[in-house]
């Protein structure tokens, strides 16, 4: 008798939890859509936007969350979706999409305003490190000195408060950047990678881009100088050749929408 009474209760509980999960998913979707609509709809960026961006170092993207999305076989690409919140802060959503461009799973990156990272970025200017190994990601690897130039150009553009041409293609603001799944998988393949730092930057075409730099478990940028690591690795014996890579060459939408 007890078992028979428990069955309806268990079914009710399961349905309740399922409804909560569905509502939570819809709420997340609505929030993400609002951010995107505000980014694409605000004709003029406010002074608060420029102030917020000048105090921001980078966007922190948790490697564990990226790895969870990578486990889904239906994911073929990653999108890095731009948004604008009601505090006039640009947001970046990290999303895994299928072959039809449908989002399978996503999360919001977090703001990092620690200005100590600027020291590491400045060091890239005179860093002589060159990539030692060719791989599938070779076309997405960005030389250290070029990374410095791109990131610095964005910082200069913010000071001028004239970025509309930089963030737009033919009058339409960039909605997102795409990268193949295998490139993102390589970024977080090492156990020493705790997160990915996404820096806003301006490329050689004078357009907005993202520069991806790995972060170690102590939150420092995972970089090399010649063949030596800069900073501390928690699992140096398990290091691999993909550590210390800096990535770029995403596909912006527009112009390249999937």
Kindly report which listed range (31-40, 155-164, 168-177, 231-240) carries the lowest average pLDDT score: 231-240
Record the pTM: 0.84
% of the chain at pLDDT higher than 70: 80
Query: Residue 228: which pLDDT band, with cuts at 50, 70 and 90?
Result: low
What's the rounded Cα separation, in Å, for the pair 67 and 89? 26
The answer to whether the CB of 128 falls within 8 A of the CB of 148 is no
Query: Which residue(s) pair with 96 in the sheet?
Result: 78, 105
Q: Is the pLDDT of residue 227 over 70?
A: no
Q: pLDDT at position 25, please?
A: 45
Q: pLDDT at position 102, please?
A: 96
Sign of CA dihedral 223, 231, 221, 125: negative
Q: Which alpha helices (H) appear in 42-193, and where do they start and end?
A: 47-55, 63-70, 117-123, 144-160, 181-187
Q: Is the pLDDT of residue 21 over 50?
A: no
Q: Is the pLDDT of residue 239 over 50?
A: yes
% of the chain at pLDDT higher than 90: 66
What's the rounded Cα separation, in Å, for the pair 114 and 254? 31
CB atoms near residue 28 (< 10 Å): 14
Q: For the chain, state the CA radius of gyration.
A: 20
Q: What is the pLDDT of residues 75-85, one digit of tens each?
A: 999 999 999 99
Coil, strand, or helix at residue 105?
Answer: strand
What's the rounded Cα separation, in Å, for the pair 249 and 236? 28
Q: What is the pLDDT of residues 100-111, one digit of tens each?
A: 999 999 999 999
What's the rounded Cα separation, in Å, for the pair 241 and 43? 44
Mean pLDDT, the chain, as a whole number?
A: 85
Task: State mean pLDDT over 201-230.
Answer: 89
Q: pLDDT at position 36, please?
A: 86
CB atoms near residue 8 (< 10 Å): 9
What's the rounded Cα separation, in Å, for the pair 99 and 71? 15
Q: pLDDT at position 152, please?
A: 97
Q: pLDDT at position 33, please?
A: 83
- Catalogue the E-assigned strands of 9-65: 58-62
Secondary structure (DSSP) of 200-225: EEE-TTS-EEEEEEEE-TTS-B-EEE
- Beta strands 172-173 and 58-62 are unpaired
What's the rounded Cα separation, in Å, for the pair 232 and 162? 39
What's the rounded Cα separation, in Å, for the pair 8 and 26? 27
């Amino acid at each position: 008798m007890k078992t028979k009474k428990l069955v309806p209760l268990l079914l009710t509980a399961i349905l309740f939890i399922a409804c909560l999960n569905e509502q939570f998913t819809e709420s997340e979707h609505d929030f993400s859509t609002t951010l995107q609509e505000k980014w694409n709809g605000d004709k003029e960026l406010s002074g608060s936007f420029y102030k917020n961006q000048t105090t921001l170092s980078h966007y922190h993207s948790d490697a564990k969350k990226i790895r969870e999305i990578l486990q889904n076989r239906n994911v073929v690409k990653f999108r890095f979706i731009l948004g604008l919140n009601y505090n006039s802060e640009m947001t970046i959503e990290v999303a895994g999409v299928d072959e039809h461009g449908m989002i399978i799973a996503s999360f919001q990156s977090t703001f990092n305003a620690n200005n100590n990272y600027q020291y590491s970025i400045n060091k890239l200017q005179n860093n002589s490190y060159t990539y030692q190994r060719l791989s599938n990601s070779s076309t997405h690897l960005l030389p250290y000195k070029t990374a410095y130039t791109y990131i610095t150009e964005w910082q200069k553009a913010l000071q001028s408060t004239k970025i509309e041409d930089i963030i737009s293609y033919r009058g339409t603001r960039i909605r997102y950047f795409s990268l193949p799944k295998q490139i993102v998988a390589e970024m977080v393949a090492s156990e020493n990678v705790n997160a990915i730092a996404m820096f806003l930057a301006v490329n050689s075409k004078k357009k907005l881009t993202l520069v991806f730099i790995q972060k170690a478990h102590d939150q420092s940028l995972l970089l090399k100088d010649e063949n030596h690591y800069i900073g501390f690795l928690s699992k140096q014996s398990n290091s691999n050749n993909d550590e210390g890579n800096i990535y770029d060459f995403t596909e912006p939408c527009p112009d390249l929408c999937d």
